[in-house]
Amino acid sequence: MAKITFIGLGNMGAPMASNLLKAGHDVTVFDLSQPAVEALVAEGASTADSGKAAAEGAECIITMLPAGKHVEAVYLGEDGLLSALPEGTLVIDSSTIAPETARAVAEAAAARNLAFIDAPVSGGVGGAKAGTLTFICGGEEGTFNRAKPILEGMGKNIFHAGPHGAGQVAKICNNMMLAILMAGTSEALALGAKNGLDPAVLSEIMKQSSGGNWALNVYNPWPGVMEGVPASRDYQGGFLVNLMTKDLGLAFDNAVKNQASIPMGSLARNLFQLHAGQGNGELDFSSILRLYKAD
Ligand code: NAD
């Protein structure tokens, strides 16, 4: 069992750290939110006054932070973690950030003989709680093999997508498709409801038909159709609209840099940005349904 420091205990990070404890690892946690830290300490984690202090003596660091600027703040610069860690420490960033940022952190880590991989995840809060996340890793094979047994404590499918940044590229592609599917699912359910169909019945029909997809199967956006999903608790918790908007921005920037055409992704970005601008940024992303359905 490893001595692990986990930084970033939000909707995803808290259940992930909790699963590492259950797997028998020695886990030290840090977050800017004191209640988030206290919840993990109550489960058996240790803590410290800062990320740097929490990282002392760790064999492995895992971060699960909102965006690239938080990852840069935690790792880079004179006061960043990379300058304090002993050589050989395994560093895993599971946040969804730009591939370029992941590569910059990887380069800074390599300069200090630290083993870094980007390992963003898919599977949502449900997957984080159940320990069934998909990890999509980018980095050297040896580092991936070192990280795999630790990631298996939090996930079911552990992929090596390619070199540094490749995990983030795959994750950005996945989330762009997810945004398109969630908006399309909402649109179809709202059209059916306008025609008097029961959204629960329509959902079952589409699940068994060619329109079936992840949003319908495990994350239905229509309130009351599925138990335990954000739509059935007023879109609280889950994956925030602000984070989906960030990911669609990453896809858009990446497409511009690579001269790729992403018409559906661009439309999805605009829909989620519009929704965020209407004061819904802190709701789960399945609340995009509200653009189509008047309450
Ligand atoms: P969140 O906003 O719920 O949690 C982020 C946590 O990081 C917060 O607790 C915050 O206090 C903490 N934090 C921020 N800056 C910090 C710092 N400098 N030091 C220590 N702690 C700091 O976000 P989340 O939903 O857990 O998502 C985390 C990442 O995972 C994001 O990049 C997101 O895009 C990605 N992701 C989320 C989901 C999901 O369903 N929520 C699914 C897959 C991937």
Domain finish residue from 139, 163, 187: 163
Number of residues that this document lists for the chain: 295
- 8 A C-beta contact, residue 150 and residue 2: yes
- What is residue 295's predicted lDDT score, i.e. its pLDDT? 65
Question: Is any ligand 1 atom within 6 A of the Cβ of residue 73?
Answer: yes
Looking at the fold, whether 269 and 200 belong to one and the same domain comes out as yes
Residues 151 and 188 in one domain: no
Q: Tell whether pTM > 0.80.
A: yes
pLDDT recorded at residue 79:
82
Are 99 and 68 in a shared domain?
A: yes
Residue with tokens 């995840």: 121
Tell me: the pLDDT tens digits for 159-214?
Answer: 999 999 999 999 999 999 999 999 999 999 999 999 999 999 999 999 999 999 99
Indicate whether 113 and 189 sit together in one domain: no
In the reported structure, the alpha carbon of residue 262 is separated from the centroid of ligand 1 by a whole-number distance in angstroms of: 26
Do the beta carbons of residue 56 and residue 3 sit within 8 Å? no
pLDDT over 80 (residue 294): no
Mean pLDDT rounded to a whole number for the chain: 96
Q: Give the domain-ending residue among 163, 189, 204.
A: 163
Pocket test for ligand 1, best of 7, 12, 240 (most atoms within 8 A of CB): 12
CATH code of the domain containing 210: 1.10.1040.10
Alpha helices in the chain (DSSP H): 13-22, 34-42, 51-55, 68-75, 99-111, 124-130, 141-151, 166-194, 199-207, 214-218, 241-257, 263-275
Looking at residue 270, its amino acid is N
- Residue 13 contacts residue 31 (beta carbons within 8 Å): yes
pLDDT in tens, 86-145: 999 999 999 999 999 999 999 999 999 999 999 999 998 999 999 999 999 999 999 999
Q: For ligand 1, atom 9, which residue shows the shortest CA distance?
A: 10
Q: Which two tokens stand for residue 58?
A: 């760790």
Domain that holds residue 230: 169-291
What CATH number is given to the structural domain containing 97? 3.40.50.720
Count of domains for the chain: 2
Last residue of a domain, one of 163, 179, 212: 163
- CB of 28 closer than 6 A to ligand 1? no
CA–centroid distance, 64 to ligand 1, in Å, is 5
Q: Which amino acid is at 218?
A: V
Any ligand 1 atom below 6 A from CB of 32: yes
> Is the predicted ipTM greater than 0.90, yes or no?
yes
Place of tokens 């699960």: 64
